[in-house]
Amino acid sequence: MDGRFTICNMAIEAGAKNGIIEPDEITKKYLENRSIRSPKFYFSDEDAVFEKVIKYNTEEIEPVVAYPHLPGNTHPVSEAGNIKIDQAVIGSCTNGRLSDIAAVAEILKGKKVHKDVRLIVFPATQEIYLAALRAGYIETIIEAGGAVSTPTCGPCLGGHAGILAAGERAISTTNRNFVGRMGHTESEVYLASPYVAAASAIAGRIISPKDL
């Protein structure tokens, strides 16, 4: 379900009018005890005709990074070269779920954040924060040199707790990277997955986890 949320969220940022994943048994199980009202499920008509069907094998898709200043300006992470970063932000509505924080802890385990990088992690909710704490993920992040904030939008919309100065560059798991989105109009934001962001925080530059 976490992956589905991200796909539906980012479909809009990539230019789609809507992003929908048809409900199934996984959806129904997820909704148990999460709603006061009984959910209503919607499906395409059995005889529905689609303009185009495109199929992807996700196992063959290389992680990508969205360069400034549009979420749709994507490039394979292997093409990043030597793009140094000053900050790594992981969290917000897009990638602040427990599975995201677990991914960060997996990458950071036994390693240290680069001395020139600020790593800031924002759990999406208090419930997730508590679960990550109990699972030991928060301890791993702090031991690696990261900082963990209370659930908030924070720097994603240029609010607080991680605002970029002129000339600074961040890799972020948030959903937008427009000019001035995370601070100064002369800063840059690159969007990536929690795995790529955590690996980049260690390397001090944008990098794939497999290259650590």
The structural domains of the chain, with segments of one domain joined by +, span 1-61, 63-211
Cβ-proximal residues to 70 (8 Å cutoff; 6+ apart), any chain: 177, 178
Work out the number of other CB atoms within 10 angstroms of the CB of residue 176: 18
For each of the chain's 212 residues, which pLDDT tens digit applies? 988 888 888 788 778 899 999 999 999 999 988 888 888 999 999 999 999 999 999 888 899 999 999 888 999 999 999 999 999 999 987 788 999 999 999 999 999 999 999 999 999 999 999 999 999 999 999 999 999 998 888 888 888 889 999 999 999 999 889 999 999 999 999 999 999 999 999 999 999 999 98
- Give the span between the Cα atoms of 138 and 2, in whole angstroms: 19
Q: What pLDDT is stored for residue 108 in this prediction?
A: 97
Q: What pLDDT is stored for residue 8 in this prediction?
A: 87
CATH fold label, 63-211 = Aconitase; domain 3 (3.30.499)
Q: What pLDDT is stored for residue 121 in this prediction?
A: 96
Q: What pLDDT is stored for residue 160 in this prediction?
A: 87
